[in-house]
Amino acid sequence: MITTTENIILKKTVEFSLLIIEYCELLQTQKKFVIAQQLLKSGTSIGANVHEAQNAESKIDFIHKFKIAAKEVEETKYWLTLCSNSKIYPSCEHLTSALHEIDKIIN
């Protein structure tokens, strides 16, 4: 069994998901529910798909899971772009930076 300490993408996606959860909880306290929900779904889905790929049924299935994770990266980038360009949203620079690292590994 591969643990998150042995596999860098597993480790980074778990860390990122935890950061996304914290940020989305902050957004919810500020009553920014729509963006918080969208960002929470796409941001945590990256790691879910990467983790699911670890037990893929075939090489094709493994690639498919990573392609889904790559699509979730793009969606998450979109939501973070909206947040970072809005004057009324808290800074998400740390999330954008972490996501960029994950994107480089996945793609």
Would 16 be classed as within a structural domain? yes
Asked, for residue 89, whether it belongs to a domain, the answer is yes
To the question of pTM greater than 0.85 for the whole model, the response is yes
* Kind and range of the H or E run holding 104: helix 93-106
Confidence class of residue 107 from pLDDT cuts 50, 70 and 90? very high
76 contacts: CB under 8 Å, gap ≥ 6: 20, 39, 42, 43, 46, 99
Structural domain boundaries enclosing 91: 8-106
How many C-beta neighbours within 10 Å does residue 83 have? 22
Q: What is the CATH number of the domain that holds 16?
A: 1.20.1440.60
pLDDT of residue 5: 60
Average pLDDT over residues 20-33: 98
Q: How many domains does the chain contain in total?
A: 1
Return the higher-pLDDT residue of 11 and 5: 11
In a domain, 3, yes or no: no
| In a domain? residue 2 | no
